[in-house]
Structure 1
Amino acid sequence: MGDALAVAATGVIRGRDDVPPLFRPPAPPRHFVGRDAELDGIRAAGVTVLTGAAGVGKTALALKWLRERGSGAQLCVDLAVHRIGRVLRAFGLNVEPADECAVFRSLVTRRQFTLLLDNAASAAQVTALLPPSGTVLVTSRQRLEVGHVAEVGPLADDGRLGPLLDRSYGELPERQARLYRLCAWQPGAFGVPVAAEIAGEPACDVEDALDDLVEKSLLTEYGDYAFRFHDLVRAHARTKR
């Protein structure tokens, strides 16, 4: 299926060759270490599903593979945040809801994108979006029987992570360093209001500091204005005083 179907379905087509910034894969965390076996388990053709518990590092692993071993243009869609219609509109495609999945598959195939489908909820959600060929990475908390399934377990520190985190922490201004230490005691994901209450500071100041921690790969932004620590990063932050 090509652009002709998109025109027939919508009457409008405005395509762009570049990937819109919102849907380009972000850089992997700077403190990413290990996972060599898991990286080797991702296939350079076909579908690989990275499955594991929340916060275990599935997305970081996928981004690392894309940065170091992927090829061509890359498209990243967080299925927990973005609907496919929004992705298509970012490419200038106005598509009827019933045709969105078909046009998306055509877009990925035609432009030979390497595709990352992040935070998939079900096999049906994934299969509706799979192109007939190419490389697709999927992350999910569920074990989806789609393509090659690779289990991602907790990451053990092999001695390389600690020095990297120490260096990143040592570069933090005092406000960010204090927030890093305090929020590490908050289990799971947390939002700006919770962080502001913990720090005893205005929400606007805390939000800026949290953004800085995300930029330094010490914190992960999750959904809309929610944040969380990787387990090993949280453990490191709890050792700081």
Structure 2
Amino acid sequence: MSDVLTDTTGTAGAIRYRGRTGVPPQFRPPRAPGHFVGRGDELARIRTGGVTVLSGPGGVGKTALALKWLQDRGSGDQLYVDLAAREPVAELLRSFGLIEVPAGDRAAVFRSLAVRRQFTLLLDNADSAEQVTPLLPASGTVVVTTRKKLNLDQALEIAVEPLADDPLLGALLDLSYVELPERQARLYRLCAWQPGAFDVPVAAAIAGECVCDVEDALDDLVEKSLLTEVGDAFRFHELVRAHARTKR
């Protein structure tokens, strides 16, 4: 079966296309965190139609917020693209059976696919406006997460700040803590006594472990929103630090 995808800008290319109807598993949104509290204001502001950019430091919960919104929305086909991956657009097109797409045409074909299939897009871990702009379809809903302000034309940008004190936060942290592997849980407890920000060598020295093992464990804590990454260093939100110091 062959097909022709035509971009709204007029770019067209005859592409061999197998006609996949479902979203490939690797490009379906991951499941939203099971333990999610707060962020009601941010959830209400993400808009259906147009582009919403969620910006904030690493570990603050941007991706969790986006996934929660997608889960609550629960309609239509949803497409997740991790822009930090190697050649994510080329891999996505191949997964849909769109092969032999020249590098210079991939963004246009991606936009055409998004419009044709009316996908809701989550573009995760964007690095710059220059990376995102070529991928934005002419219509539809797009949510972008990034550590930087992108200043995209006509996009709604929401700054995602660390969680404020919330009566449910302690219970959420307890649930997150009991699910940690032992190395991460030990690091969580020990590093909470380090004042201010700390880097990987400092954390390794505190834990008495090798740098490579500690670096992986710190990354896991960031992914679980228990640490915030700031450049080459890490820091605790004060509420999270206080929680970690209660653990033995």
With normalisation by structure 1, the TM-score equals: 0.75
Q: Does structure 2 conserve the Cα–Cα contact (< 8 Å) formed by 1:55 and 1:230? A: no
The 3-state SS of whatever aligns with 2:52 is: strand
Deviation at 1:159, TM superposition (A): 1.6
The alpha carbon displacement at 1:173 in A equals: 6.4
Per the alignment, residue 144 of structure 2 pairs with 138
**TM-score, structure 2 normalization:** 0.74
The unaligned stretches of length 5 or more in structure 1 are: 223-227
Point out where structure 2 has 5 or more consecutive residues left out of the alignment: 7-11
2:34 counterpart of 1:30: yes
Aligned partner of 2:134 in structure 1 is 128
Q: More deviation in 165-174 or 121-130?
A: 165-174
Report the CA distance between 1:35 and its aligned residue.
Answer: 1.0
Q: 1:55 aligns with which of 54, 59, 65?
A: 59
The 5 A counterparts of 1:129-208 are: 129-140=135-146, 141-146=148-153, 147-170=155-178, 174=182, 177-182=185-190, 199=207
Relative to structure 1, the CA distance from residue 173 to residue 57 in structure 2 (aligned partners, 3 Å threshold; closer, same or farther) is closer
Other-structure match for 1:236 = 243
CA 1:80–1:168 in 2, change beyond 3 Å: closer, same or farther? closer
1:104 aligned onto 2:116: no
- May I ask how many residue pairs the two structures share in their alignment? 233
SS in 1 for 2:126: coil
**Measured at CA, do residues 92 and 210 of structure 1 come closer, stay the same or move farther in structure 2, by a change above 3 Å?**
farther
- The C-alpha deviation readout for 1:167-189, integer Å capped at 9, x for no partner, is 44346565553244346669578
Equivalent residue letter for 2:107: C
Give 1:121's aligned amino acid: D
- Higher share in strand: 2
- Aligned position for 1:4: 4
- Indicate if the aligned counterparts of 1:218 and 1:229 stay in contact, CA closer than 8 A: no
Q: CA deviation at 1:130?
A: 1.1
Q: Tell me the CA shift for residue 236 of structure 1.
A: 2.9
SS at match of 2:135: coil
Counterpart of 2:45 in structure 1 is 41
d(CA) in 2 for partners of 1:39 and 1:205?
35
The SS at the match of 1:47 is strand
Corresponding residue SS for 1:119: strand
Partner in structure 2 of residue 89 of structure 1:
94
Q: Return the offset for 1:207.
A: 9.9
